[in-house]
Amino acid sequence: MKTLNVGIIGAGSISNFHMEGYKVLPNVNVIAVCDINEERAKAYAKKHDIPHVFTDYNEMLKLEELEAVSVTTWNNGHAPISIAALNAGKHVLCEKPLAMNAQEAQQMVDAAKANDKILMVGFVRRFEEKANLLREAVESGDLGKVYYAKTGYVRKWGNPGGWFADKKRSGGGPVIDLGVHVIDLVRYITGKPKAVSVSASTFHDLGMKPNIKGLGKYFSEDHDENNPYNDVEDAATALIKFDNGMTLFFETSWVLHVKQPHNYVNLFGDKAGAQMEPELEFYEERNDYFTETKPIIQAGSDHMDNIFVREIKHFVECVLEGIPCRNPGEDGVEIMKILDAIYESAETGKEVIIK
């Protein structure tokens, strides 16, 4: 059985999902971890029995036996670290967003091609069973022509603070953190059309709201409750048009005066419609009646732990068996073009044409 020697670069929260995915695979050895916080890196290595510990990823990449890496750092580290890894002859699974902007993302794709290595984007929600069932329904024509879609990732009080709220390190707020997931889902499910224009607004009116009581939330590991710095958007909305004629309405928030946090993905076709969340349902006409149908999917199938395992397993299979990558770097470039356009449109107050 072929085995793969893997390293983790960035020992923050999201890296734990990658680590658990690698650990369940019998053909993977995690041999190195790197983090700028030496204490955290050593604790991570001890917890997961990893033999090599680094604080400089360039030193880690000198390990000849290292074949692939997961890049799970702050967003501003994605491009330089991934490019260095690819140039060192390593395959890369890079967390979303692929980069800080489309230009950086394209440089990563170019490096992967130049070195004949895999660059996979961490679009983990593509591995949800309901997402792929809906994609198959679109491909088979069950919905007909999908001409309109709506999607949102809305939180009531969810700014994690720390690097997430620092634009220099994150690139932005909920648009680049949450929006990247659902915009990509709509593209993936509908055959990956290319965006041609974006009209958007971002809002900066509520901030961190550290005074809120009665609710709990996730905080970044580097969040400083005594200095809750924040210079990213609270919320955003956009209208995105694609080259296949589909229009997408999108909204997202970290902080918004809304009753409940909620996520949704809705598609509208000329034969049927569908919603993906909270449960997958189809809406159509039969015998001159409107009908609703709900596929039976095993409870817990799309739990976060499970979809990360599927993602990690796919990455390993791409490297060891040469199967086509479901999340190629090129898809990350297309999403970054959309995110860039959202921020540009919000800043200029004008529609942005994507070339």
Which pair of tokens denotes residue 247? 């229009």
Per-residue pLDDT tens over the stretch 24-41:
999 999 999 999 999 999
Homologous superfamily (CATH) for 4-123: NAD(P)-binding Rossmann-like Domain (3.40.50.720)
Q: What is the pLDDT of residue 239?
A: 98
| Residue 75 near residue 296 (C-beta atoms within 8 A) | no
pLDDT level of residue 264 (50, 70, 90 thresholds): very high
Pairwise CA distance, residues 42 & 182, whole Å: 35
Q: Which residue has the tokens 């491009």?
A: 79
Q: What is the pLDDT of residue 226?
A: 81
Q: Other CB atoms closer than 10 Å to residue 198's CB: what's the count?
A: 25
Q: What is the pLDDT of residue 224?
A: 86
Pairwise CA distance, residues 255 & 193, whole Å: 30
For the chain, the distance separating the N- and C-terminal CA atoms, rounded to the nearest angstrom, is 45
pLDDT level of residue 225 (50, 70, 90 thresholds): confident
Residue 328 has what DSSP assignment? B
Pairwise CA distance, residues 2 & 7, whole Å: 17
CA 84-105-204 angle, 5° bins: 120
Cα 246 from chain centre: 22
| Residue 90 near residue 35 (C-beta atoms within 8 A) | no
State the number of CA atoms in the 13 A half-sphere of 299 facing the CB. 0
Position 347 pLDDT exceeds 90: yes
- Residue in 294, 290, 265, 271 with CA at minimum distance from that of residue 282: 294
Q: What is the pLDDT of residue 38?
A: 97
pLDDT level of residue 231 (50, 70, 90 thresholds): very high
Domain 126-305+335-353 falls under CATH 3.30.360.10: yes
Pairwise CA distance, residues 8 & 247, whole Å: 38
Residues 6+ apart with CB under 8 A from 162: 219, 220, 221, 222, 223, 224
pLDDT level of residue 230 (50, 70, 90 thresholds): very high
| Domain extent listing, the chain | 4-123, 126-305+335-353
Q: Which residue has the tokens 């799970």?
A: 72
Average pLDDT over residues 315-338: 98
pLDDT level of residue 221 (50, 70, 90 thresholds): confident
Q: Do domains 4-123 and 126-305+335-353 have the same CATH topology?
A: no
- Residue in 178, 280, 286, 169 with CA at minimum distance from that of residue 230: 169
Mean pLDDT of the chain: 97
Per-residue pLDDT tens over the stretch 289-326:
999 999 999 989 999 999 999 999 999 999 999 999 99
Average pLDDT over residues 265-270: 98
| Residue 8 near residue 70 (C-beta atoms within 8 A) | yes
pLDDT level of residue 329 (50, 70, 90 thresholds): very high
State which amino acid sits at residue 335. I
Per-residue pLDDT tens over the stretch 269-281:
999 999 999 899 9
Position 1 pLDDT exceeds 90: no
Per-residue pLDDT tens over the stretch 123-180:
999 999 999 999 999 999 999 999 999 999 999 999 999 999 999 999 999 999 999 9
For the ranges 134-138, 227-231, 262-266, 280-284, which has the lowest average pLDDT?
A: 227-231
